[in-house]
Amino acid sequence: MFTREDFIDLPHLADFSNTADWLSRRVWSEGAGGNMSVRLDSVAQIEGGEAHALPLHVPHLAGTLLLLTGSGTRTRETAQHPERDVGLYQIGEDGRSYIWIAGNKKPTSELPAHCAIHNALAQHRPQHKAIMHTHPANLISLCHVPELASGPAVSDKILRLQSEARLHLPEGIGYVPHQIPGSLELGLASAELVKDHRLVLWHMHGCLATGSTLADAFDYMEVFEKCAGLYWTLRAAGIDPVGMTDEHIEKTLSAFGILDRFK
């Protein structure tokens, strides 16, 4: 039977701890802002608890285990106390409910949103098991420029400012117009976009990253944030940057065999 010791020994808790530490160092997740979750392949036999209804159907998560940060947990503290701030949950075999297994018992209000996004990932990009949401100032600032407030526009302008950015993010950035923070609508809109985007910018709110691990998701966010930082540095110097030409971007992606993901 799965025990508290088994939970503490889960290697994924170190991924939460290390990523929380870096989110805090980058000042991306202020206060209790942001949240993270990871799908697990399997653990030992688990004893069932009280089932809670989900407000959506997630058939691709039936029986899946989810590690998820707790409501009101501070990223800077999660770095030191992952076993206190992260909870383990299991989605019911019907894909319409969940039970608490171990760790933090009060999941983030964005649990349904995380379930919606994981359901899409499990179906379309099963190797990507981690979701990280945070509030990087350089990225939120992009939403305040009206001509950049769409996925194609922000991708085209920002990802041509550094020659490796499109290698990491050839599909560009997804963009969700205003939604209520923590709402299922925000999760459903993001779920649609993560089918083919590793990052999704939430209008004037923050950014969502997906990856094989939380560290991997953090990498994608760092690439985008680096480009946004270049943009704001150049704008502050009075330069509206043009960036790489289409020809140079296509040559670079061709050299790495991923031009088809750019088109």
Which two three-digit tokens encode residue 105? 């018992």
User: In angstroms, what is the minimal distance from the CB of 133 to Zn ion?
Assistant: 6
Which two three-digit tokens encode residue 197? 């985007």
Residue 68 backbone phi and psi in degrees, to 5: -145, 140
End-to-end CA distance of the chain, in Å?
A: 49
CA 58/CA 92 separation, integer angstroms: 9
The rounded Cα 231 to chain-centroid distance in angstroms is 22
The rounded Cα 96 to chain-centroid distance in angstroms is 22
Nearer to Zn ion, 29 or 252 (CB): 29
Which one is catalytic: 30, 83, 110, 222? 110
Which two three-digit tokens encode residue 58? 């997630």
Nearer to Zn ion, 136 or 206 (CB): 206
Sequence-ordered strand ranges (E) for the chain: 35-40, 52-53, 65-69, 86-91, 97-103, 130-134, 173-176, 199-202, 206-211
Helix, strand, coil percentages, rounded to 5, for the chain: 45, 20, 40
User: In angstroms, what is the minimal distance from the CB of 180 to Zn ion?
Assistant: 11
User: In angstroms, what is the minimal distance from the CB of 206 to Zn ion?
Assistant: 5
User: In angstroms, what is the minimal distance from the CB of 202 to Zn ion?
Assistant: 7
In the complex, residue closest to Zn ion by CB: 206
Q: Provide the b/e sequence for 80-102 (b: ≥16 CB within 10 Å).
A: eebbebbbbbbbbeebbebbbbb
Residue ranges that bind Zn ion, judged by CB under 5 A: 206
Nearer to Zn ion, 144 or 235 (CB): 144
User: In angstroms, what is the minimal distance from the CB of 79 to Zn ion?
Assistant: 18
Nearer to Zn ion, 151 or 206 (CB): 206
Q: Confirm whether 77 is a catalytic residue.
A: no
User: In angstroms, what is the minimal distance from the CB of 6 to Zn ion?
Assistant: 31
**CA angle 225–231–234, rounded 5-degree value:** 140
Contacts of 182 (CB under 8 A, 6+ apart): 108, 109, 110, 113
Nearer to Zn ion, 23 or 101 (CB): 23
Nearer to Zn ion, 187 or 206 (CB): 206
Catalytic residue IDs: 110
